[in-house]
Amino acid sequence: MKELASILSLKQPEELIDQLAETGYSFAVWRMPNSTESKFIISLTEPTQLPDFQIANTSPGFLINAFGDNHPIKPYFISADIIITNQNVEFSPNISDVQIDAFKEQINTRSKSKNQSNKTSQPTSNAFEALVERAVAEIQKGTFEKVVLSRFKDEEIPSDFSSWQFFETISAQYENAFCSLSFIPGKGMWIGASPELLISDDHDSFKTVALAGTKRLGNGQKLSEIAWTQKEIEEQALVSRYIINCFKKIRLREFHEHGPKTIQAGNLAHLKTEFVVDYSEVTFEDLADQMLELLHPTSAVCGMPIEHAKPWIKEVENYDREFYSGFLGPVNFEDATSLFVNLRCMKVMDGYIRFFAGAGLTEDSDPQKEYEETEIKMNVLESLLT
């Protein structure tokens, strides 16, 4: 990091981040769960949505996919043209010296192109609670079994806010989360600490998880002290069932199921079941692609059945989730792909920060409690904003 900074005559990583964003280069920084090393990639080409996306045909980089983009999935791709780790800087063999020189020159003569955005009024607690009531009525009518409603909140940016510092803070605070900071011109700067793996594939095994059920974890409270209600157990079981159905659709029976277990995500606890396919037991060429297509958006962020839950969300939520509850993560990077659901995330905009959170609703949902759940989920990041 320092080395690149010195090549570019910069003082600090935050200065590089700002210059990249201002000159319109896309980049991603991430730290895998329970790792101490972060990776930082910069793309020298304009990021585009991959129309015929397939993991095997994608070069090393970082993917970001919106909640609404499914069937087919069309992720934005940030190519790993420059790779910066704690120790060194590498340039991809696919880029030329001419491109690198042009990059250095542009970075050093930045032209400000601010990310234009309009602060919007946020839904009040009453509006959200009214929506939860409507959702429960739909569930009782049988429109769907579960639906996930979300909302956003805009907060003014503190004058001394630094995206880089914030990424470092969340990385230190939320060890078992996937922490990321990514930027695509026109799509904004996104920062998050996701507790939820969508898919991973490292050629030895394929993994996915069913994560649902939320409880606040008190100070010093042990995970074993969390008592789950029937509502939460069923809500998570629905997500597991959804994943098992996806395996059934592709006729894959050789998966291992671990859980559900109570896990910690910041000051929250969730129920998690892990599903693992061991490639020494089964050969399945494009398992990760097929599962990704079937899983996104999972019933943990959309609902079940998805065909009814998704259009209903679009009709009533009244705002664009954009990348929130989509997925993001490294692709074919160091020979592995790990995509996480974009939760506990925020979008840094001109003058303010937008936080997002949702709650899974079932027949037994209590509107006020669901609203509170979205508050505490937003708090995972909001509370670290000083």
Ligand X SMILES: C=C(O[C@@H]1C=C(C(=O)O)C=C[C@H]1O)C(=O)O
Q: In this chain, which of 38, 360, 367, 371 binds ligand X, going by CB under 6 A?
A: 360
We find the least distance from the C-beta atom of residue 212 to ligand X, in angstroms, to be 5
Rounded Cα–Cα distance for residues 5 and 181 (Å): 18
Part in contact with ligand X (CB under 6 A); list of ranges 7-15, 41-49, 172-180, 354-362: 354-362
How far is 38 from 286, CA to CA, in rounded Å? 28
Which region, judged by CB under 6 A, interacts with ligand X, from 61-69, 171-179, 284-292, 355-363? 355-363
**Pairwise CA distance, residues 339 & 274, whole Å:** 15
Please select the residue that binds ligand X; options are 171, 200, 214, 362, rule is CB under 6 A.
214
- Tell which one of 260, 266, 303, 358 touches ligand X (CB under 6 A): 358
Q: Which stretch binds ligand X (CB under 6 A): 180-188, 211-219, 282-290, 332-340?
A: 211-219
From residue 32, how far is each of 38, 40, 122, 321, 380 by CA, in Å?
7, 12, 32, 24, 18
**Smallest separation, CB 78 to ligand X (Å):** 23
Label residues 12-47 b or e (16+ Cβ within 10 Å = b): ebbebbbbbbbbebbbbbbbbbeeeebbbbbbbeeb
Residue 353: beta bridge partners? 155, 348
Query: To 5 degrees, how large is the angle CA 115–CA 116–CA 118?
Result: 130
**Stretch of residues binding ligand X (CB under 6 A), selected from 68-76, 82-90, 174-182, 206-214:** 206-214
User: Shortest CA distance to 282 belongs to which of 254, 323, 243, 314?
Assistant: 254
Nearer to ligand X, 110 or 153 (CB): 153
Among 344, 354, 355, 367, binds ligand X (CB under 6 A): 344
Binding mask 320-339 for ligand X (x = CB under 6 A): --------------------
Is position 357 an interface residue for ligand X (rule: CB under 6 A)? yes
The partner residues of 274 in beta bridges, in order of sequence, read 209, 258
# of chain residues touching ligand X (CB under 6 A): 17
Q: Where are the beta strands (DSSP E) in 233-326?
A: 256-265, 268-278, 303-304
C-beta of 344 vs 347, nearer to ligand X: 344
Token code pair at residue 288: 């990760």
Do residues 382 and 168 touch, judged by C-beta distance below 8 A? Answer: no
Closest contact distance (angstroms) between CB of 207 and ligand X is 16
Contacts of 229 (CB under 8 A, 6+ apart): none
Residues 135-174 touching ligand X, rule: CB under 6 A, are 148, 150
H helices of 36-174, in order, are 97-108, 125-141, 163-173
Among 339, 359, 376, 381, binds ligand X (CB under 6 A): 359
Q: Does 269 bind ligand X (CB under 6 A)?
A: no
Minimum distance from residue 148 beta carbon to ligand X (Å): 5
- C-beta of 364: minimal distance to ligand X in Å? 13
Q: Which residue shows structure tokens 């309009």?
A: 118
> Contact between 209 and ligand X (CB under 6 A)?
no
Collapsing DSSP to helix, strand or coil, 261 comes out as strand
Q: How far is the CB of 327 from ligand X (least distance, A)?
A: 12
213 part of the interface to ligand X, by CB under 6 A? yes
Is residue 202 within 8 A of residue 336, CB to CB? The reply is yes
Q: How far is the CB of 150 from ligand X (least distance, A)?
A: 6
Interface characters, 284-303, with ligand X (x: CB under 6 A): ----------------xx--
* List 20, 179, 212, 349, residue binding ligand X (CB under 6 A): 212
CA separation for the pair 342, 65 (Å, rounded): 9
* Interface of this chain with ligand X, residues 178 to 197, rule: CB under 6 A: 196
Q: Which is nearer to ligand X, 44 or 301 (CB)?
A: 301
Give the single-character DSSP code of 121: P
Give residues in contact with ligand X (CB under 6 A): 148, 150, 196, 211-214, 270, 300-301, 343-344, 357-360, 377
